Amino acid sequence: MTTYPASDLISGALGNISPPARVAVFGDPVAHSRSPAFHNAALRAAGIDASYVAIHVTPTELADALRALPDQGFLGTNLTIPHKTAVLPLLDAIDPAAQTIGAVNTVSVQDGQLTGFNTDGPGFLRAIREEFSVDVRDLRILIFGAGGGAGRAIAVQCALEGCERLVLVNRTVEKARALATELEPLFRTERLAGPSDRLQTIPHDLAAIRAQLESIDLVVNATSIGMKRTDPALVPEALLAPSLLVYDTVYATGRSRLVEDAISAGARAANGLSMLLHQGALSFEIWFDRPAPLAEMRAALASGFA
Ligand code: NAP
């Protein structure tokens, strides 16, 4: 995959690409991104005469690269590490859910204006529906890594959906506590259980986790544990009951140890490929205002992991 420097975007040198570059991902690093493969498959399948390009944008280049988008005829861009939060003050408008999440992974260009969205949270919702045929709002959910970027997006989305119960777990527990304070107003409803029962924060501690798992339906791993094959187990297999749904946002290693342990315990489990797919499909829908060709995107993603 070709990676272009930000200077090529800013100077107009990307104008020579065919089909013309109209959407992108900005990151630092960006060469590892799976997005060009499945977005270009989507563009081909939809018959759109446009390319999706990976652009290496450093933090100091971000403002100029964003401002070059309308000038160079781009419809938008995705943002990955380390730009998802830094981009907020550089945009003309921010979607309310992205504002609450505090991070933007999709920028849309319309009439020269840059609007920020977050498709990670909604992509997670679609992934859970697809993998387990359930809606997040009906579930009692425990999120590991609730203080990180993905964990925060997922926690906010679950709270916005009005899930039955939300337990935030984070190694640095203060980050999860701060998030719980932000989310608490979303749990003040007329349901029978009060906010303190429905929203809880616990440290990444075995005894605390064990006590919570008895009243949980869905366990989500949004930590970086599992990205390497040699990583320790996130949860001891003995704690994974057959009644649990387990979603591991990690997709780098295919079937992660958590997914394998959950399946061998009799639980239903899936890895983060479906979330990756659906956050990308939602970006496509924002830019092109039509449904994304999911089958082709899914096939392109799967071939990258074959
Ligand atoms: P991040 O912002 O750096 O957050 C990392 C999280 O992992 C933090 O909560 C951190 O806790 C926790 N953590 C790291 N090492 C840990 C350890 N040894 N024990 C316990 N907790 C640990 O990273 P991110 O961008 O959110 O990514 C997190 C995961 O989400 C990654 O595995 C990534 O692959 C996945 N992800 C998947 C998708 C998808 O579409 N499927 C999208 C985005 C991210 P502290 O706060 O204590 O440091």
- Computed on alpha carbons and rounded to an integer, the radius of gyration of the chain in Å comes to 20
Residue nearest to atom 12 of ligand 1 (CA): 223
Residue pair 156/183 in contact by the 8 Å Cβ criterion: yes
| The amino acid at 230 | T
Q: Which residue, among 158, 157, 147, 268, has the nearest Cα to 201 in the 3D structure?
A: 147
Residue 205 has pLDDT above 60, yes or no: yes
Model-level pTM?
0.94
Catalytic position from the list 56, 84, 152, 257: 84
Among 79, 101, 154, 171, residue to substitute to test ligand 1 (most atoms within 8 Å of Cβ)? 171
- Determine if ligand 1 sits within 6 Å of the CB of residue 105: no
User: In a 3-state reduction of DSSP, which class is residue 116?
Assistant: strand
Maximal C-alpha separation, the chain: 61
The ligand 1 atom nearest the CA atom of 175 = 46
Locate 294 and state its tokens. 């999911």
Among 101, 224, 273, residue to substitute to test ligand 1 (most atoms within 8 Å of Cβ)? 224
Least confident span in 1-10, 35-44, 96-105, 297-306:
297-306
Whether residue 84 lies in the annotated active site: yes
Residue 176 has pLDDT above 60, yes or no: yes
pLDDT tens track for 97-115: 999 999 999 999 999 999 9
End-to-end CA gap in the chain: 17
Residue nearest to atom 30 of ligand 1 (CA): 222
Task: Write down the pLDDT at residue 227.
Answer: 85
- Determine if ligand 1 sits within 6 Å of the CB of residue 288: no
The ligand 1 atom nearest the CA atom of 152 = 26
